[in-house]
Amino acid sequence: MPEIDHTVHVALGERAYDILIGPRLLDEAGTILAERFAGRRYGIITDETVAKAQLPRLVASLDAAGLGHTEIVLPAGEATKSWSYLGQAVEGILAARLERGDLVIALGGGVIGDLAGFAASIARRGMDFVQMPTSLLAQVDSSVGGKTGINSPHGKNLIGAFHQPRLVMADLSTLDTLSPRQFAAGYAEVVKYGLIDDEDFFFWLEENRAEIFAGGPARGEAIARCCAHKARVVIEDEKELGVRALLNLGHTFGHALEKDTGYSDRLLHGEGVAIGMVLAHGFSARLGLAPSQDTGRIAAHLKASGLPTTMADIPGILGSTETLMAAIAQDKKVSRGALTFILTRGIGKAFIERNVDAQAVAGFIESQRP
């Protein structure tokens, strides 16, 4: 029997699904899929890096269970979340003659999860898919909740659909192959859950960070707690019409910085989120909403985790404040041209603030520039 350490249920009625968390789940994937989805064929979408490290394990498991499959391998990196590679993924699904009743498997990090989920949502007018996240960021955040999509030259994640997976399988062993930088980038999303509305979780992370990074039992517990948190939010607000926007803490600043750096290795998504969360708390403190010492405490924890915390930590030259503000104006939370930010009254006390003054934001960004 597969070894499953934690199971988190996402209760969405007829579209409900489980998040399975445990070691070596890729090696047991065939058994699990055959039991849950009898008679299906599978289209595996992955990237070149994950294909070398993890794809053979999944293929061997599917073969052992007698499950038919095809593989679509795309380049690694944020730039893959584009129209051209989305088209390549969809055409690969069609070329393999996968039917509407078959399943797409997203094997990879957040980029592949987002792109493969979007491809599944539009191929044959909608196919089911399974998330098999292989990065910490994907396991705690992007694989859960049904947000799928690609980037636009106008901004990050502006093209996509809400399309829930049928199952999420988080294999903890895949995290052992991540570089320290990639693992740290994912950890930023873990910290985010504590900063939104669970200060006890943030304090727990301060105490258990070393064990999480070392791969001890705290790692699986942290992932399960993040998934349970996100599941509760998604159940309450699946289409991000209200409280789900809180999950974007730090993302408005972070996405603008990602766009400015060309969605490149200069700034990984989680690194942008780390800087963005510090900026969100700093901006809140400047507005008199949050204690300034909280900003320092958060920055210290993120820095100790190997993450950048200031705009000065980004290599190369950043665009102008006006350029960053133009990116912020394209944020998905903008309504009728008015800026919406996730601000905070302290650790674990995030809230949605609408009609944020653009000049105040621009002045704050200018003050934070290196």
Spatial separation of the C-alpha atoms in residues 298 and 46, rounded to whole Å: 34
93 labelled ligand-binding? no
Spatial separation of the C-alpha atoms in residues 323 and 289, rounded to whole Å: 27
301 labelled ligand-binding? no
Q: Are strands 42-47 and 167-171 parallel, antiparallel or unpaired?
A: unpaired
Spatial separation of the C-alpha atoms in residues 304 and 312, rounded to whole Å: 17
269 labelled ligand-binding? yes
Looking at residue 147, its pLDDT comes to 96
Spatial separation of the C-alpha atoms in residues 239 and 287, rounded to whole Å: 30
| DSSP code for 28 | G
**Continuous segment of H or E residues that includes residue 133:** strand 128-133
Residue 333, pLDDT above cutoff 80: no
pLDDT digits (tens, 9 = 90+) for 69-109: 999 999 999 999 999 999 999 999 999 999 999 999 999 99
**What is the set of active-site residues?**
125, 147, 189, 230, 240, 244, 248, 251, 255, 269
User: pTM of the predicted model, to two decimals?
Assistant: 0.94
Q: Is 363 exposed, middle or buried (0-12, 13-18, 19+ CB in 10 A)?
A: middle
Phi-psi region of 18 (alpha: psi -120 to 50; beta: other; left: phi over 0): beta
306 labelled ligand-binding? no
Residue 1, pLDDT above cutoff 90: no
pLDDT digits (tens, 9 = 90+) for 194-244: 999 999 999 999 999 999 999 999 999 999 999 999 999 999 999 988 999
pLDDT category, 336, cuts 50, 70, 90?
confident
Looking at residue 366, its pLDDT comes to 97
pLDDT digits (tens, 9 = 90+) for 22-51: 999 999 999 999 999 999 999 999 999 999
pLDDT digits (tens, 9 = 90+) for 256-288: 999 999 999 999 999 999 999 999 999 999 999
Q: What tokens were used for 120?
A: 């599944």
229 labelled ligand-binding? no
Looking at residue 3, its pLDDT comes to 87
**Amino acid sitting at position 341:** F
Residue 332, pLDDT above cutoff 80: no
